[in-house]
Amino acid sequence: MEKQTAGRNQLGRFAPKFAELNDDVLFGEVWSRERELSPRDRSMITVTALITAGIFDSSLKAHITKAKANGITKDEMAEIITHLAFYAGWPKAWAAFGVAKEVYGDK
C-alpha cells in the first residue's frame, strides 16, 4: 500500500496531530487491514459514507478515484449511486453522479 501524505501536505503545519492520524492511522493502519476488508470493499463503503453525509468536495472525488483504482467499474459506481439515491436522497445522487462522471468520464 502506498504511503499517504495528503494530511501532512495539506494540514501538517496547521494541525500536525490530525495530519498524522489521517496519514498514519486512517490510511496507514485502517486501510491496510486487507484481511478483514478488501480495498475494493473499503472504497465502496467510504464512497457510500461520503455520499450519505452529503460530502461532495475533493474528498469524494479522491475516493471515487481510489475506488476506480481498486477495481470498481463505471457501471458498478453508477449502480452504487443509483441504489443510494433511494436511501440517501435523490439530490445527493445527482451531485455524486457529477463527481463520478469526472472520474470515469462521460461515455
**Mean pLDDT for all residues in the chain:** 93
Average confidence (pLDDT) over 17-25: 91
Q: Are residues 80 and 50 in the same domain?
A: yes
Q: Are residues 28 and 62 in the same domain?
A: no
Q: How many domains does the chain have?
A: 2
Output 29 or 76, whichever has higher pLDDT.
Answer: 76
Q: Are residues 74 and 96 in the same domain?
A: yes
Q: Would you give the end-to-end CA distance of the chain in angstroms?
A: 30
Q: Are residues 24 and 48 in the same domain?
A: no
DSSP string, 16-38: HHHHHIIIIIIIIIITT-TTTS-
30-75 pLDDT, tens digit per residue, is 989 999 999 999 999 999 999 999 999 999 999 999 999 999 999 9
Q: Are residues 25 and 50 in the same domain?
A: no
- pTM here is 0.88
Can you give the residue range of the structural domain that contains 1? 1-32
Q: Tell me what percent of the residues of the chain surpass a pLDDT of 90.
A: 79
Q: Are residues 20 and 71 in the same domain?
A: no
Which domain CATH number covers 56? Answer: 1.20.1290.10
Q: Are residues 52 and 12 in the same domain?
A: no
pLDDT at 2: 64
Q: Are residues 44 and 79 in the same domain?
A: yes
